[in-house]
Structure 1
Amino acid sequence: MSAHPYANLTPERVMDAIESVGYLCDARVFPLNSYENRVYQVGIEEGEPLIAKFYRPDRWSRAAILEEHKFMFDLVEEEIPVVAPIQIDGESLFYSEPFMFALFPRRGGHAPELSSNADLELLGRWLARLHQVGSWESFEHRPVILGAQDLAQAAETVLSSGHMPSDYHAVYASIWPQLVQSLEQQMSSRPFRTIRVHGDLHPGNLLLRYEQLWMVDFDDCVQGPAMQDIWMLLSGARDEQLSQLDVIRNGYEMFRPFPYTELSLVECLRTIRVMKHAAWLCQRWDDPAFPIAFPWFDSHRFWSEHILTLREQQAALQQEPLVLFA
């Protein structure tokens, strides 16, 4: 048997876990696109299929996962369209050795067109309401976006993992301290408020169907600036990003003041994501799914492009931040 827990998460074990909380499966178990956790669509006798999410062992504490769930329940209570876990006898998190797991209703849809002003404005409205709820209290057990410390931890993971070819170590070791210094300057010059945010709001975590938007997968929800959920909706050249921001702002300000002072964080947050993504791949390479899904990771080309991206981010951090006028 494989040493990795997910290698032994067979369809039979998935069905046994779901039936342990009172459902009867019909033997239709379809894996969905997920790497950090394992997610399945499972057919239910005389009912709609459910989505079962098996959390990666030893990643989150039970308290941290329950905070994720509570955030979603808070949002649902305010009629914000998120796909929250199903509660059974008041419980939303269950256990099947060695996994904690949760069940969700199935929601269909496609990623919104971020080139569409209508979709961007709709996202702006829902984000403002999400952030309004997120500001009501703080996480105690979830991560906090820390900036320079996040970069230092990511760099340590990469350099100690053995995955980066040795001929890139020197140049990487010279770049990341410069990025840390730039982030410290940017993030300390304008203190920002942290709130509960989604944390990973890329288009793949948005479902749009018949003008109904659903926000899904709060697995990376964190305590951070509101801009963390906004910058990931931006793409293209500077002028394009400013145009997109203006549309998002129009929707956002219907419910909450737009966080203008956090625009200087956009490139900081992008840099954190770039470095943490490489560190994440290093950490997860022992998972059999990762070499299959990311076969290019252990190549010289990947690390060459990664270092080029870090240099581009260092240049971006020296430029004037994006500016919108209230």
Structure 2
Amino acid sequence: MNSEAESLSCEAAPYAGLTPDCVLAALDSVGLHGDGRLLALNSYENRVYQIGLAAPPIAGLETFSADVAVAKFYRPHRWSDAAIAEEHAFVGELAEREIPVIAPLSLAGVPAIDAAEENFGTTTPCGTLHTFAGFRFAVYPKCAGRSPELDDRNTLQWMGRFIGRIHAVGALHSFTARPRLDIETFGDAPRLWLLAHDFVPADLLPAWRSVS
């Protein structure tokens, strides 16, 4: 298989190497030892697993005593390390301000051993983003939730307050690593690309142009 075909194959199946063994080994590499329980959770672009823990965490993680953890494996090539770290920092700041979010665990200083590569894995300086066998991942505590009572006015008021507080915290700093959600990037450019590559059927093209 030539390099171009290998690249296309990797893009088509980016999680082909993320086997259950790989998931458990990744958790082992940051000091969280699985007991074999593995449950895939709903996720659109990434892969998220609830993982049962057996042995106590290694030194440095004594404060994390839960018997399950949630691991999020990021889709390869989708986000930069800086963008993920920026997201983690924002969620951490929300948690510090007592806004109910689930922040990733900081595992800075934990020796991450990458058995698949026979080398040491990596943990970013922020301590929340790790790499194992080519996959980047973060670990979260499990936190149960429930559907809100949307017909309850008090519930809607609380939700509105939290959304307002989230926006207020977000306005304190500029986000530099994540792409902007603007019309040019997510509207004009995709429209021109679709037109240039003949994705719109010819008989629908006039109507599509008029509304796009």
Shorter-chain TM-score range: 0.7 to 0.9
Name which of 95, 104, 113 aligns with 1:85. Answer: 104
Alignment root-mean-square deviation, CA: 2.3
Q: Deviations over 1:50-83 (max 9, x none)?
A: 1110111111110010000000111111111110
Going from structure 1 to structure 2, the CA distance change for 1:8 and 1:121 (only over 3 Å counts) comes to: same
Normalized against structure 1, the TM-score is what? 0.50
Q: Give 2:34's aligned residue.
A: 25
Higher RCO, Cα 8 Å, sep 6+:
1
Separation of aligned partners in 2, 1:159 and 1:16: 45
Equivalences for residues 1-326 of structure 1 within 5 A: 3=10, 4-46=13-55, 47-89=66-108, 91-156=127-192, 158-159=194-195, 167-176=203-212
Q: Is the 8 A contact 1:5 1:98 kept in 2?
A: no
Q: Secondary structure at the match of 2:67?
A: strand
Separation of aligned partners in 2, 1:12 and 1:166: 49
Q: Secondary structure at the match of 1:40?
A: strand
Q: Secondary structure at the match of 2:86?
A: helix
Larger helix proportion of the pair: 1
Q: CA offset at residue 165 of structure 1? A: 5.2
Separation of aligned partners in 2, 1:24 and 1:18: 6
Runs of at least 5 residues in structure 1 that lack an aligned partner in the other structure: 177-326
Aligned residues: 176
Separation of aligned partners in 1, 2:181 and 2:54: 43
Going from structure 1 to structure 2, the CA distance change for 1:105 and 1:147 (only over 3 Å counts) comes to: same
Separation of aligned partners in 2, 1:52 and 1:103: 4
Q: Secondary structure at the match of 2:36?
A: strand
Going from structure 1 to structure 2, the CA distance change for 1:164 and 1:17 (only over 3 Å counts) comes to: farther
Q: CA offset at residue 128 of structure 1? A: 1.9
Q: Deviations over 1:244-299 (max 9, x none)?
A: xxxxxxxxxxxxxxxxxxxxxxxxxxxxxxxxxxxxxxxxxxxxxxxxxxxxxxxx
Going from structure 1 to structure 2, the CA distance change for 1:26 and 1:66 (only over 3 Å counts) comes to: same
Q: CA offset at residue 133 of structure 1? A: 1.3
Residue identity matched to 2:78: R
Separation of aligned partners in 1, 2:42 and 2:197: 26
Normalized against structure 2, the TM-score is what? 0.74
Separation of aligned partners in 1, 2:36 and 2:197: 40
